[in-house]
Amino acid sequence: MSAPAPSRSFCGLRHGATDWNREGRFQGRTDNPLNEDGLRQAQEAADMLRGAGISRIVASPLVRAARTAEIVADAISVPLTIDDGIIEFDFGSFEGLPVRDLMIKHGVNSATGLVSILPADGESWDAMTERSLRCVSSWLDRHPGDRFLFVCHDAVMQGIAKALSGSYFKNSHGTPFRYVREAANWRVEQLVT
């Protein structure tokens, strides 16, 4: 992978839920809004982040992430910028299809297995991971005094986690996580304030 590892720790937040999330569908670039659960999750995330020391938020342009970020930014009074670099993965011909059905059809039962069956007509997993890491690194390098929250999507957060720490993690809607750098090692942990 050619994207450099970020220079320091940062936080990530998966957007609140949409109807497609509740239906278990692949939801890449389809611009679905938050549902009632998603709006509540965004507000709960804002409450959790009040004491976290976040000073700047960067969000994906898709409405589910941008709206989640707006709710958090308004609640904790920090600037918000939209950046295409952390837009969700393009699932190609899997878009809108039930995740579970395709996993059963292809005989996979893990995140690694799921990544292995992604269609060739979408974005490559490595390309998504590289663009996401490049985006995060660029923001961290340009604003060394800020503590960042990146509000984005599960695939983006998982790609970054796998590249930095070597593993995927259980990522819930509206639950903030910290990507922690200690020397050359990384880990992902739930943010508890």
* Confidence (pLDDT) at 193: 63
Distance (Å, rounded) from C-alpha 81 to C-alpha 73?
A: 10
Is 189 assigned a catalytic role? no
Residue 1's pLDDT is what?
56
Each residue of 130-176: pLDDT tens digit? 999 999 999 999 999 999 999 999 999 999 999 999 999 999 999 99
Residue 144's Cβ-side half-sphere holds a number of Cα atoms within 13 Å equal to 2
DSSP letter string, 81-139: EE-GGGPPP--GGGTTSBHHHHHHHHT--SHHHHHHT--TTS--HHHHHHHHHHHHHHH
Catalytic residue among 70, 88, 153, 173: 88
DSSP at 76: H
Residues in a beta bridge with 190? 177
Q: Which of 35, 38, 103, 31 is nearest to 60 (CA)?
A: 31
Average pLDDT over residues 10-23: 98
Does 44 qualify as catalytic in the annotation? no
The secondary structure element, H or E, covering residue 190 is strand 185-190
Report the candidate in 128, 137, 174 with the shortest Cα–Cα distance to residue 28: 128
Question: How far apart are the C-alpha atoms of 22 and 155, rounded to whole Å?
Answer: 16
Q: Residue 2: pLDDT above 80?
A: no
Please identify which of the residues 15, 70, 153, 173 carries the catalytic annotation: 15
Structure confidence by residue, pLDDT tens digits, 80-127: 999 999 999 999 999 999 999 999 999 999 999 999 999 999 999 999
Whole-number CA gyration radius for the chain = 16
